[in-house]
Structure formats: structure tokens, C-alpha cells
Amino acid sequence: MTNRERAMNILHYRPVDRLPAVHFGYWGELLTEWADQGKIPRELAIGNGDGSEKDMALDKLIGWDFNWYHCTGSNNGLSPGFETKVLEILPDGTRRIQNGAGIIEKHKPGVTSIPSEDDYLLKDREAFETLYRPKMQYFPERVNVEYYKHFNETRPKDIPIGLHLGSVLGDIRNMTSVVGMSYLIYDEDEELFADLVDTYAELQYQCAKTILETGAKFDFAHYWEDICFKNGPLVSPEIFDELCAKHYKKRCDLCHAYGIDIISLDCDGVVGQLLPTWFENGVNTMFPIEVGVWGDQFEPARQKFGPGMRGVGGMDKTAFRKDKAAVDAEIERMKRLASLGGFLPCPDHRLMPGSKFELVQYYAEQIKMIRL
């Protein structure tokens, strides 16, 4: 049985020989750590992106079967992006940088966390119409049609490959910042934010449609949002549903029309309040099911939505920074969740600095020994 068959069988409640060992990538700093420790070749720590040759080489070294984030898509974002440029260097060395989405970020030397948002360009209707709408137009060069025409022959055959559908609100948040998004939702121009969401969604739909029309076949489709945090969603579920539900439905219906019935969505944080909008409009697979200090989210979702709600994720990655006992406890928990069916255990985000290489290897080995 290939890992592609294993993954798809599990998500469709069909028999499998064993669980596959699935992961969701690594912090760059962790790969550097492992290279410094001599655990992995230095070249695998550099430029190691999801689904890349290096990622798959590292899979073999560690014992993973595949990375769920092995997806492919198109140039479905702002095009051209804004020029990335340093606007200012502050006395302490902090750089104010305008990024490709038009957000001004603060980058501090020696600090590797996600930068803080300092300002943004998309402040009003004029900014949208002059700066952003032109960058959200579909044009044929956005999709590498030639690549997709041959995709079925050239793609890896033994692991699942996803079609990346983009996002509905996550990218918008990245263009406006959390503060900017909040102000735009309540702008005096009451149509502005919906206009922004609708325009971007239409672009992403067109890109997905063009890919699917080439005949390329995918095992699943995937969204990215990251629109929740510890206390729930960044916007009210009502506003989220009003703005976004129709776009999820349209894109998911498109996938269904092309035979894709597993549609996952990447959102960290506590996602429960947005699950109804997602599930009712075609998203049926939670990912990466962050555990955090709030615990498991998958089983409550399964109880609420039934077997139609699948999951990939849910393994508390912080166990890899602890000890074998912590990893064993997670393996037992994963075994239980997997026994519910429709669930692929996977670390609940990219493995972070301090994760012990041998514990990760141990986990991958043990997960593959689980029979359902």
C-alpha cells in the first residue's frame, strides 16, 4: 500500500495496513540546530520548503512518510507584489520594512520570531482602488498551465498531493494587518471590506478553476487562513460567515465538480467558532489542530459534526522538546484519535527549535507501527 493510498483510505474510512507518519515541516532554526548537532547534512537545512526535494530527503532520514503540506498552486496573490524595501532603520537596529503585501513590519536584529505589524497601506477605498484592486486581477500567466497539463505524469505517485486554493480572509488580514482589517470592517464606506474580500476571492477561484481545467488530478484541496488565536476567531463568526461562506462554497463546489472530496484548511488557534462556516460550505478536514494550552479540538469537533469532519494534525509538538515519556503519551493519544477513523496524526505545527532529533525519529517509527 502506498502512503497516498493509506492517507486517502484513512480519510475515507477504508481499511489500511498501518498509520502513515505525517508531518508539517520545521522551523528553519530547528534544521540549523540539527545540522549544527550533526544530525542532518547542512545542505538539507537550507532552502528546505514543504514538498521540496530536500523535504523529501529529510523524510527518508527521519522516517516520515510525507508532509501534509505537499501542495501546489498558482500565483494567486497580489501580482505584482509591493516592492519589499527598508523604509527606516531605528537607533536600536530595528528595521521598518514594507513587505510584498503592503504591510510595514518591524524586524529586530537577532530576533527570529514573526515581525510585528507597524503600519499598512490599505487604509481606505482610494488605497484599495489604486493600489490593491489592480494587483488582484486574474491573467493567464498566473497559472503554469503547461506544468499542470503534465502534472499527472510528473507528480510523486506514492504520496498525497494537494491543490492549494489560497485563502478567503487570511491573506486579506496579511494585506491589512489585524488592526487595519478591524478598522476596514467598520469603515464609513460600508461596502469596502466586502468588496475587498469578494475581489480577492474571485481571483483565487479563477486560478483554481484554471488549474483544474487542465485535467490535473489532486488527492485533496487545501486552504490557509490562520484567522484564530487562543481566544477564538479574530473576527466575529457572524461577520466571517457573512463575508466568507459563499466563497468557501464556491471554491469547494468547484473541487467537488473535479472529484476532490477531501478539503483541508490550515488554521491555528482555537477554531471551534468558525468550524460551522467551514464545514457547512465544504471544508471537511481540520488542520493542523493546534493543541496549545486548550487541549484537543478534534474530538469535540467530531462529536459535533459527525464522521464528515476529518482531521490531520493534533499531535502536541512540544513533546519533542521534552522526553520519551511525553512522546509516548502523545502516541497513545494519537492512537485513540486515529481509532475514531478519518484522522491522520501529525504534529500540530512545524517542529520548533529545541525538538530532539531522536525523539522525532522515535515518534515517526512508532506511529508507523500502529494498526487500526
Partner 1 sequence: MSTELLNEISENLQRGKAKVVKQLVEQAVAEGIAPAVILNEGLLSGMNVIGEKFKTNEVYVPEVLVAARAMNMGVGVLKPLLAEEGVKAKGKVCIGTVQGDLHDIGKNLVKLMFEGKGLEVVDLGTDVSPDTFVQTAIDQNCQIIACSALLTTTMGVMEEVVKKAEAAGIRDKVRIMIGGAPVDDAYCQKIGADAYTPDAASAADKAVELCRELAGDVA
User: Under the criterion CB under 8 A, does residue 304 sit at the interface with partner 1?
Assistant: no
User: Under the criterion CB under 8 A, does residue 276 sit at the interface with partner 1?
Assistant: no
Instruction: Kindly indicate which of the ranges 15-23, 57-65, 233-241, 301-309 contains the residues binding partner 1, using the contact rule CB under 8 A.
Output: 233-241
* CB closer to partner 1, 161 vs 181: 181
Instruction: Kindly indicate which of the ranges 11-19, 56-64, 110-118, 141-149 contains the residues binding partner 1, using the contact rule CB under 8 A.
Output: 110-118
Q: What angle do CA 72, 76, 81 make, to 5 degrees?
A: 120
User: Under the criterion CB under 8 A, does residue 300 sit at the interface with partner 1?
Assistant: no
User: Under the criterion CB under 8 A, does residue 28 sit at the interface with partner 1?
Assistant: no
User: Under the criterion CB under 8 A, does residue 86 sit at the interface with partner 1?
Assistant: no
* CB closer to partner 1, 134 vs 354: 354
Number of residues that bind partner 1 (CB under 8 A): 35
Could you check whether the bond before residue 288 is cis, i.e. omega within 30 degrees of 0? yes
Residues between 324 and 363 with contacts to partner 1, criterion CB under 8 A: 352-354
Burial (CB count <10 Å: 0-12, 13-18, 19+), residue 359? middle
Q: From residue 123 to residue 162, what is the string marking binding to partner 1 with x (rule CB under 8 A)?
A: ----------------------------------------
Q: From residue 169 to residue 188, what is the string marking binding to partner 1 with x (rule CB under 8 A)?
A: ---------xx-xxx-xx--
Out of 33, 65, 117, 330, the only residue in the binding site for partner 1 (CB under 8 A) is 117
With cell 473541487, the residue in question is 255
Buried/exposed 218-256: b ≥16 CB within 10 Å, e otherwise:
bbbbbbbbbbbeeeebbbeeeebbebbbebbebbbebbe
User: Under the criterion CB under 8 A, does residue 100 sit at the interface with partner 1?
Assistant: no
- Look at residues 182, 51, 174, 34 and name the one whose alpha carbon lies nearest to residue 114: 174
Least Cβ distance, residue 184 to partner 1 (angstroms):
9
Cα separation of 335 and 155, whole Å?
A: 30
What's the half-sphere exposure (Cβ side, CA atoms, 13 Å) at 261? 8
Least Cβ distance, residue 321 to partner 1 (angstroms):
8
* CB closer to partner 1, 185 vs 267: 185
User: Under the criterion CB under 8 A, does residue 37 sit at the interface with partner 1?
Assistant: no
Angle formed by the axes of helices 357-367 and 53-62, nearest 10°: 80
Least Cβ distance, residue 88 to partner 1 (angstroms):
15
Out of 37, 84, 116, 339, the only residue in the binding site for partner 1 (CB under 8 A) is 116
For residue 303, the one-letter residue type is Q
Element (H, E) at 98: strand 95-98
- The maximal CA–CA distance of the chain, rounded, in angstroms, is 62
Burial (CB count <10 Å: 0-12, 13-18, 19+), residue 80? exposed
Least Cβ distance, residue 239 to partner 1 (angstroms):
8
Least Cβ distance, residue 86 to partner 1 (angstroms):
16
Using an 8 Å Cβ cutoff, are 223 and 264 in contact? yes
Distances (CA, A) of 218 to 67, 156, 202, 257, 261: 15, 11, 21, 12, 10
Least Cβ distance, residue 183 to partner 1 (angstroms):
6
Least Cβ distance, residue 129 to partner 1 (angstroms):
22
Out of 273, 276, 299, 341, the only residue in the binding site for partner 1 (CB under 8 A) is 273
Which three cell numbers mark 97? Answer: 520594512
Using an 8 Å Cβ cutoff, are 75 and 147 in contact? no
Out of 63, 100, 156, 232, the only residue in the binding site for partner 1 (CB under 8 A) is 232
Residue 318: strand, helix, or coil: helix
Binding site for partner 1 (CB under 8 A): 106-108, 111-117, 178-179, 181-183, 185-186, 229-236, 239, 269, 273, 292-293, 318, 321, 352-354
